[in-house]
Amino acid sequence: MFTKRCLSNLKLQKHLSISRFSTTTNPPPKDLLELLFTKIVKERKSPCFEVYGSQIEILTSPEDYYLALHKLALESQFRINMSALYLGTGTKELFFLERISRRLEENPEIKFNMILDYSRGRRIDKEGKSSENMLLSLLKANFSHKFLRAALFKQPSWMPRADTGPIRMLSEVLGVHHMKAHVFDNNVLITGANLSEDYFTNRQDRCYIIRQSPRVADYFDDLLNALSNCSYHICAGEPKVQKFYPEVSNKNKFKNTLAHHLKLFRWAQKTDIPVGKELECDEFFNGEQQGHPHALLSYDGQDQDLKETVPKHKKPQKDVEEEANEFSKDSKQEDKKKVRDLIQKVNAFSSQKSEPRKKGDLGGRVFIFPALQFNMVNIREDEELFVQILEHLTKKEGAKIDFCSGYLNIMDSYLNPIKSSKAEVNLLTAAPSANGFYKAGFVKKWIPYFYREYEKRILKKSKGNDSVKLYEYQRKNWTYHAKGAWFYEKGNDPNLTVIGSSNYSYRSNRRDTEAQLYIYSQCDDLNARMKEEAEQMFSSAQRVTLDDIKKDKDVKLGSRTYFLSKRLKTLF
């Protein structure tokens, strides 16, 4: 699909590039929607998608995330395209792959692709398992399937032997494929969570499902396919990993090839603004749309009742006891019970049917703006757009920003508008004990301390500004990984949120590949649900001040921590 759309545009415009936002001086935008339109659509000709509020579902728990993956995969008819940092090797992940394998067997027409990070995906755990081996089993089980691909995206590295032993883990520090987005037919699940057991159990993250939106699904499908075309491929035969040409070790050639693929992708997805036309915000959003063939806005709202997909080619469900015995035949009785409970829960959720929504009950208009971050090829859409929004909203008294990141090592370009903000700014991050690296072995045990140092830096810079407050998420036996922001332009509810993979840290902006969605809502119901999501995040958090950090006996910070955190800040 991606190739056909690209080939239909034989002449690439010379002015289309992957440079930064235009630096042309324009009058300040009157509101957030005009800012998004100007920076994304007008200056970059990137797409904007319109849906109804009821097409967006907000998941709030790890279990909901896991069950939604199962249900979406079960209902898929023609494509499953997934992207994450890595795939876990536990029971829940294995069961999810088992169900995908069964769905591929039921329907040979489904195109399946999964892209993970090369270094993290090949990391071997204590039991000798890896994401690569998990996907290899899927490939072997469906060897005859026509449309099946598993890809490992590898960042260019200056290290000569980045594939061997401990050096491979070091290469992860220098940059990874960090994008987390999953396409199931015309549904998109966008999240910051990986595909592993803790994210399905007790690791707090964010997750949105955009339902029945072909254009948003095409966007991510094309993006993941473009990246997979520039990746190593896992093979059922030998060699296990098929290398991509040009070699990633040839950094310049690889970057040029990647830039070319992304340029074609962006061309296929661009907004076709007529030459010589000075397009204005009101005209773009309030002109002809509703599926009009000449409309510039990518309209994906449903003009008919919203109904649930009924999967075709679906075999009768296996008996729970039979499936549990097959899946865990070599396991202990205790483990078999856990598997049986898991199967029952997944089956019960997957068989639930949602009530169809009538056209008049689909909610208000919602505009979705995608933004990418690929610093290696000079694409910094997300970073620059986020700065613009912060600069715009922090000047407004009465406005509010809730900003969260599990790894709060923000750059000066973010901190500068925050520290002098007139708007209320609430920052949320993981307490040291809720950091995924807390009490880890070797060098990793220092990481929570580094992030505490970065918190100190923020508090010192914003000292004296009562509008800026810092909170730490702390919940017994849970870790915190959520990231993104909610923007309250006016009123009590947010009307803009950003969700995706970026932690808004130095490494997110300079080293990793990231994808975000900026979701601007004119739907009161969705605004209320976004507010509820933010409140739930902050409900497990406590405010932290400079004095609190200094007096914390459990996490003592010294000169060594300060020195190392400063020296290594671009890695975190």
Give one DSSP letter per residue of 452-506, joined into a string. Answer: HHHHHHHHHHTTT-TTEEEEEE--TT-EE---EEEEESSSSS-SEEEEES---SH
Res 293: pLDDT: 36
Looking at the predicted structure, is the pLDDT value of residue 303 above 70? no
Residue 243: per-residue pLDDT: 67
At which residue do the structure tokens 């995908």 appear?
Answer: 100
| Same domain for 178 and 110 | yes
Do 341 and 391 lie in a common domain?
Answer: no
Are residues 230 and 114 part of one domain?
Answer: yes
- The reply to whether 402 falls in a domain is yes
pLDDT > 60? residue 379: yes
Region of 149 on the Ramachandran plot (φ > 0 left; ψ -120 to 50 alpha; else beta): beta
Side chain identity at residue 91, one-letter code: T
> pLDDT category, 345, cuts 50, 70, 90?
confident
261 located within any domain: yes
Predicted local confidence at residue 12, as pLDDT: 36
- Euclidean distance between CA atoms 572 and 566, whole angstroms: 10
Q: Are residues 332 and 408 in the same domain?
A: no
63-67, 191-195, 255-259, 269-273: least confident range? 269-273
Peptide bond into 239 cis (omega under 30): yes
Q: pTM higher than 0.85 for the full model? A: yes
CATH number at residue 499: 3.30.870.10
pLDDT tens, 13-61? 333 333 444 444 566 778 999 999 999 999 999 999 999 999 999 999 9
Q: Is residue 234's pLDDT more than 60?
A: yes
Please say which residue of 270, 290, 309 terminates a domain: 270
pLDDT tens, residue by residue, 508-558: 999 999 999 999 999 999 999 999 999 999 999 999 999 999 888 777 777
- 333 and 410 in a common domain: no
DSSP state of 265: H
Q: Quickly count: other Cβ atoms within 10 Å of residue 455's Cβ.
A: 23
Per-residue model confidence (pLDDT) at position 92: 93
Same domain, 259 and 397: no
Whether pLDDT at 271 is above 80: yes
Highest mean pLDDT among 30-44, 249-263, 268-282: 30-44
| Together in a domain, 342 and 380 | no
pLDDT score at 356: 61
Q: Give domain status of residue 290, yes or no.
A: no
What pairing do the DSSP bridges indicate for beta strands 79-83 and 513-521?
unpaired
pLDDT at residue 301, rounded to an integer: 63
Domain annotation covers residue 277: no
Residue 393 lies in a domain: yes
Residue 331: pLDDT above 60?
no
Q: Between these two residues, 407 and 491, which has the higher pLDDT value?
A: 407
Helices 412-419 & 447-461 angle (0-180, nearest 10): 40
Answer whether residue 14 is part of any domain.
no
The residue with greater pLDDT, 317 or 252, is 252
Asked whether residue 40 is assigned to any structural domain, the reply reads no
Confidence (pLDDT) at 360? 55
What pLDDT score does 483 carry? 97
Distance of alpha carbon 100 from the chain centroid: 21
The answer to whether residue 44 is domain-embedded is no
Share of the chain above pLDDT 90, in %: 58
Same domain, yes or no: 343 and 455:
no
Let me know whether 451 and 492 are in one domain. yes
The percentage of the chain sitting over the pLDDT mark of 70, rounded to a whole number, equals: 80
Name which of 204-208, 240-244, 543-547 the model is least confident about.
240-244
Q: pLDDT per residue over 307-316, tens digit each?
A: 555 555 555 5
Categorize the per-residue pLDDT at 419 as very low, low, confident or very high, splitting at 50, 70 and 90.
very high
473, 547: one domain: yes
Which of 5-9, 146-150, 294-298 shows the lowest per-residue confidence on average (mean pLDDT)? Answer: 5-9
pLDDT at 58: 98
What local confidence, expressed as pLDDT, does residue 240 receive?
65
Is there a single domain that holds both residue 157 and residue 265? Answer: yes
Residue 396 near residue 422 (C-beta atoms within 8 A): yes
Using an 8 Å Cβ cutoff, are 234 and 352 in contact?
no
Range of the domain at 338: 320-351
- Give yes or no: residues 384 and 455 share one domain: yes
Query: Of 3-7, 140-144, 265-269, 330-334, where does mean pLDDT reach its minimum?
Result: 3-7
Number of domains the chain contains: 3
- What is the separation, in whole angstroms, between the first and last Cα of the chain? 37
Q: Pick the last residue of a domain from 233, 251, 270.
A: 270
Tell me what pLDDT residue 166 has: 58
Question: Of 270, 300, 330, at which residue does a domain stop?
Answer: 270
